[in-house]
Every structure is written in structure tokens, then in C-alpha cells.
């Protein structure tokens, strides 16, 4: 896995993302996991190719990179390291 992105949007956007992925990436080049969260319908997409991940990010600009760096815990740990 080279990249993970999450989308928390109305279900129709998640369905559109999965349809786009199936057509543009092929089923063997990504994985998805979904859940209902406080943010609403949420899905995480994991890619084998950075090129496919970047194309997905450009096609779905509201998808956030799932690397933990926007977490308040990450920020606290970074401040402690200084």
C-alpha cells in the first residue's frame, strides 16, 4: 500500500468514488473500507500505485490523506519532540 485517502461525505459521493475506482483503477489496484462515523458516511481507500492515488485525489479533492498528521495527537507529539 502506498497511499490511503478517506472520504466523509454523503453516501452518493462514496458510491461515485467506488464506481470511479472500479472503472479507473481496476479492482486489484485498490481496497476500500467503510463505516458510519460522527462525520457521516466514511470510507477509506488504499492504493497500490501512487499514480492511481494521486489521480483519485485530483478527481475527489475533498478526500483527505490518511496519514495521521491532522490528528491533534500528532501535533502534540511533534511539539514534545522540539
Q: What is the pLDDT of residue 23?
A: 92
Q: What is the pLDDT of residue 10?
A: 74
At a CB cut-off of 8 Å and minimum separation 6, what does 4 contact?
44, 45, 46, 47, 65, 66, 67
Q: What is the pTM of this model?
A: 0.65
Q: Each residue of 46-58: pLDDT tens digit?
A: 888 888 888 888 8
> How many C-beta atoms surround the C-beta of residue 65 within 10 A?
13
Q: Each residue of 19-33: pLDDT tens digit?
A: 998 999 888 888 888
Would you say 7 and 45 are in contact if contact means Cβ atoms under 8 Å apart? yes
Please report the domains of the chain, with CATH numbers, ordered by start residue. 3-81 (3.30.70.2750)
Q: What is the pLDDT of residue 39?
A: 65
> How many C-beta atoms surround the C-beta of residue 49 within 10 A?
14
Amino acid at each position: 500500500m502506498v497511499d490511503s485517502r478517506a472520504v466523509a461525505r454523503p453516501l452518493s459521493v462514496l458510491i461515485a468514488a467506488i464506481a470511479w475506482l472500479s472503472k479507473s483503477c481496476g479492482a486489484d489496484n485498490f481496497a476500500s473500507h467503510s463505516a458510519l462515523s460522527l462525520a457521516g458516511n466514511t470510507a477509506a481507500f488504499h492504493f497500490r500505485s501512487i499514480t492511481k492515488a494521486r489521480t483519485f485525489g485530483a478527481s475527489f479533492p475533498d478526500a483527505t490523506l490518511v496519514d495521521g498528521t491532522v490528528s491533534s495527537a500528532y501535533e502534540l507529539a511533534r511539539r514534545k519532540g522540539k
